[in-house]
Structure 1
Amino acid sequence: MTEKLKVMAICGSLRKGSLNQMVANTLQELAPADMTLVQAPSIADIPLYNADLQNDDGFPVTVDALAAAIEEADAIIFVSPEYNYSVPGVLKNAIDWVSRLPNHPFKQKPIALQSAAAGMLGGARMQYHLRQILVFLEADVFNKPEVFITFGKTKVDEASGRLTDEAAREVISAQLAAFGHYIQRVQS
């Protein structure tokens, strides 16, 4: 029997009741049997990037915790909203910090992207910008199937904090299955 793939979800929203966090909360129930989904350490307490904070004592503890979790995971799924046609500042900040580490853990890490939004584009522009960032970091970004959840407020159950829309759940299940095969190819 092969070992389960450990995939970590990083949510790009800090908002209580985030559509994207609800999607992230649902991933394990949609994952194939050979995949375990875990949540990333919070990015809420990572300080604004400032090279002066990199000193002889190392990086902030919150950055080290996120980097260690990324390193330990077989792959990453970013689940994020779109802010002002781009990546939310809190997510970009976390990526900037981790990318400054020697031998940063995004290099050659399999990564999938998902987004949920209240509008009709479902976070497409954020995913385009995030792809650009990840290409520079030499991450192995998975392409298809893509997950853009449009009109997200109608597709979640806020009380349970879960994605309930069956069509969106099917697309995510298909992405996770294909992503699992992609991770195995990248690792071999």
Structure 2
Amino acid sequence: MKILAFAASNSTKSINKTLVTYAGEQLRELRSDVTVEVIDINDYELPLFSVDREEELGQPQLAHNFFNKIKESDGLIISFAEHNGSYTAAYKNLFDWASRIETKVFQGKPSLFLSTSPGQGGASSVLKSAETSAPFFGAEIKGTLSVPSFFDNFDSDANQLTNEDLKQKLHEALIALHG
């Protein structure tokens, strides 16, 4: 089973990338038959989507490359960063371009959606939005987890969740993802 993992953030210091990478490592420890590829959405940076740009550019190769990464996977782990209660502009733009290739961007893939933030909300607003809309775009949601107060619940030096309840919930979500 091949899992594609990424943070829906373009920050080079993204705690969501830290979380999604950690989740991928935990899944590999649970199941030796799983490979996890963590990608960086900065590698798929595109001009701001508009119908005018689409008419001018068509569907850019980077959008196809991102879409094909999803297509080649057997499942997804995405960790959503939250900007002002919603998706980051970088993720939303990439998603918009990919959705013009095919509305079902997630292509029926089993998916685990995560989110985190430094604050107590844990980016739960964007996670809820993603969870609500994802089935329309072809995701088969197997689990979600918001990690509040990231720096209180994750030890970056040891690279692990320190909150036992969150660790258990992630473990259960990873099992549900793998089936």
Does the alignment reach a TM-score above 0.5?
yes
Cα deviation code 1:10-49 (max 9, x no counterpart): 2112222211111122123211213221113534522211
**Whole-angstrom distance in 2 between the partners of 1:28 and 1:99:** 25
Cα deviation code 1:151-184 (max 9, x no counterpart): 1022334457x34425233322221111111xxx
Kindly indicate whether the alpha-carbon contact (under 8 Å) linking 2:115 and 2:145 is maintained by their aligned counterparts in 1: yes
Residue among 7, 23, 28 paired with 1:27: 23
**Whole-angstrom distance in 2 between the partners of 1:175 and 1:72:** 22
- The structural deviation recorded for 1:8 is 0.7
**Whole-angstrom distance in 2 between the partners of 1:47 and 1:124:** 28
User: What corresponds to 1:184 in structure 2?
Assistant: none
**Whole-angstrom distance in 1 between the partners of 2:110 and 2:72:** 12
Q: Which structure has the higher relative contact order (CA within 8 Å, separation 6+)?
A: 1
Kindly indicate whether the alpha-carbon contact (under 8 Å) linking 2:15 and 2:117 is maintained by their aligned counterparts in 1: yes
SS in 1 for 2:101: coil
Percentage identity across paired residues of the two chains:
21
* RMSD (Å) for aligned C-alpha atoms: 2.3
User: What corresponds to 2:10 in structure 1?
Assistant: 14
Distance 1:17 1:156, change over 3 A: farther
Q: Which moved more, 1:83-92 or 1:67-76?
A: 83-92
SS in 2 for 1:16: coil
Greater helix content: 2
- The structural deviation recorded for 1:123 is 1.5
**Whole-angstrom distance in 2 between the partners of 1:48 and 1:57:** 12
Kindly indicate whether the alpha-carbon contact (under 8 Å) linking 1:30 and 1:169 is maintained by their aligned counterparts in 2: no
Kindly indicate whether the alpha-carbon contact (under 8 Å) linking 2:45 and 2:94 is maintained by their aligned counterparts in 1: no
- The structural deviation recorded for 1:127 is 1.1
**Whole-angstrom distance in 1 between the partners of 2:73 and 2:55:** 27
Distance 1:29 1:166, change over 3 A: farther
Kindly indicate whether the alpha-carbon contact (under 8 Å) linking 1:82 and 1:125 is maintained by their aligned counterparts in 2: yes
**Whole-angstrom distance in 2 between the partners of 1:14 and 1:103:** 23
User: What corresponds to 2:84 in structure 1?
Assistant: 84
Unaligned ranges ≥5, structure 1:
182-188
**Whole-angstrom distance in 2 between the partners of 1:41 and 1:54:** 23
For normalisation by structure 1, the TM-score amounts to: 0.80
User: What corresponds to 2:107 in structure 1?
Assistant: 107
Unaligned ranges ≥5, structure 2:
none
